């Protein structure tokens, strides 16, 4: 839950991308895990904060540089369980699957417009990466975000990623609000906890309609939603979290 309403106190709302504004990439990861029998989620988090995925999201690796490092990490994780990586697995194919599975969530995008019309500032805090393979994908996502939000903070451009508290404070600074005047939405518990730790009100997005109900209560704004919205669009975008 987001906590008690803050009438008249909130001035800005910040959104995560993957799992909030867009459908979660974890769906594709889980599918590939099952198909190949690989502990991919463990490979993504093993060795944080200095594994290949964290370096990718901090902009220390481009996507093409990330692939061989991540495949080596997957191999180490699999071998630690006494198994081997199937010949058909590749990080490149995994990320293609992740990207092609992601869709915008129309109800959440509409909510952004409603919130802005009600006079609130809006922003994005996203962990993402430099796609040097399909640069147009990066450009399209950046254009979309910049056209819809007052500020956009991308981890790969800043060299810091959620849940580092600095990225939340920087977002508030750019919006010219105090953390106590901002609400943040994210689907990952650790990112929500980090936002609360710096003084923000945070909503964990488990379902779109649940999150919009909580957000609407906090803002005193009616936010319409449809339960089927999260998969209703056919637009393809890159994974951003």
Judged against a pLDDT cut of 50, whether residue 231 lies above it is answered with no
Number of domains in the chain: 2
Residue 224 belongs to domain with CATH number:
3.40.50.1000
Same-domain status, 130 and 85? no
| H-run or E-run covering 196 | helix 189-197
Assign 9 to helix, strand or coil: coil
Range of the domain at 76: 26-100
Interval 97-117: pLDDT, tens:
999 988 999 999 999 999 999
d(CA 66, CA 90): 12
Same-domain status, 57 and 18? no
Helices within 80-154 (DSSP H only): 91-101, 106-117, 135-148
Assign 141 to helix, strand or coil: helix
Query: In this structure, how many other beta carbons lie within 10 angstroms of the beta carbon of residue 154?
Result: 23
Place of tokens 């399209």: 140
- Mean pLDDT is lowest, of 172-181, 215-224, 227-236, for 227-236
Same-domain status, 80 and 111? no
Task: Note whether residue 84 is domain-resident.
Answer: yes
Boundary of a domain, candidates 72, 100, 128: 100
Boundary of a domain, candidates 63, 81, 100: 100
Query: What does the pLDDT read at residue 41?
Result: 92
d(CA 15, CA 191): 11
Written as six digits, the tokens of 76 are 């180490």
């Amino acid at each position: 839950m987001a906590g008690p309403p803050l009438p008249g106190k909130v001035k800005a709302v910040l959104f995560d991308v993957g799992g909030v504004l867009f459908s979660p990439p974890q769906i594709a990861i889980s599918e590939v895990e099952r198909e190949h029998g690989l502990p991919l989620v463990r490979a993504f988090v093993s060795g944080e904060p200095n594994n290949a995925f964290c370096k990718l999201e901090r902009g220390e690796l481009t996507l093409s540089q990330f692939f061989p490092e991540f495949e080596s990490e997957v191999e180490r994780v699999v071998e630690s369980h006494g198994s081997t990586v199937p010949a058909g697995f590749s990080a490149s194919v995994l990320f293609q699957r992740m990207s092609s599975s992601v869709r915008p969530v129309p109800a959440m995008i509409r909510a952004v417009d409603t919130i802005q019309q009600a006079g609130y500032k809006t922003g994005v805090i996203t962990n993402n990466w430099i796609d040097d393979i399909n640069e147009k994908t990066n450009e399209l996502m950046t254009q979309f975000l910049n056209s819809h939000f007052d500020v956009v903070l991308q981890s790969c451009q800043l060299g810091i990623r959620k849940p580092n508290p600095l990225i939340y404070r920087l977002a508030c600074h750019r919006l010219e609000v105090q953390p106590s005047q901002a609400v943040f939405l994210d689907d990952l518990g650790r990112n929500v906890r980090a936002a609360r730790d710096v003084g923000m009100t945070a909503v964990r997005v488990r379902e779109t309609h649940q999150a919009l109900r909580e957000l609407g209560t906090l803002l005193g704004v009616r936010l319409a939603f449809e339960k089927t919205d999260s998969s209703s669009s056919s637009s393809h975008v890159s994974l951003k979290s």
